[in-house]
Amino acid sequence: MNSDLLFDFIVDKENKTIHIRREFDVSLELVWQAWTTPELLDQWCAPNPYRTETKTLDFSEGGFWHYALVSPQGNKHWSRYDYKKIEPYKSITELRIFSDENGTVDPEFPCTECIITFSNTDSRTLVTMTEKYGSPEMFEKMATDSHKKGFSSHLKNLDRLFTLKNK
């Protein structure tokens, strides 16, 4: 893994948002594939020692990713990412919300809107995420060093996956 890759995690308390920027030392096509393919998402999209298990993924506008975050003890915590807008190789707008095993969400539970953009920077790919929280309580839980470390951990998993794919 290249240690000089950009990683910014900026908390904006006034607007209840978190802005994350991360560089990857691989092509935009490979980063996009890792973000949009269930077999690849399951290999990186969880902070260690957790793992992700996709139940279903319909990567299209109006579709969703339904998955479990699985603890080392095997406990599953279910979530959905509902895709609102997709511009291939440019951006994804999604609503993130907790669900049950069947994908049913509580309409009273505020979701998080996340806008992810992808761009080339020299021979690298820059991913920029803006997470806007629907509740002050959820924002306070996520605007922490613990969330920053967890998020950094799962992005390092993605670096490792890219290293394996490039061998």
Task: Domain ranges for the chain, please list them.
Answer: 7-165
- How high is the pLDDT of residue 131? 96
- How high is the pLDDT of residue 164? 80
Query: Which H or E element spans position 142?
Result: helix 136-142
Are 121 and 144 in contact by the 8 Å Cβ rule? The answer is: no
Distinct helix (H) and strand (E) counts, the chain: 4, 8
Q: Give, in degrees to the nearest 5, the angle at Cα 78 between 103 and 44.
A: 120
**What's 7-165's CATH class?**
alpha beta
Query: Which H or E element spans position 28?
Result: helix 28-36
Q: What is the pLDDT of residues 121-132, one digit of tens each?
A: 878 999 999 999
- Intervals of the chain under pLDDT 70: 1-3, 165-167
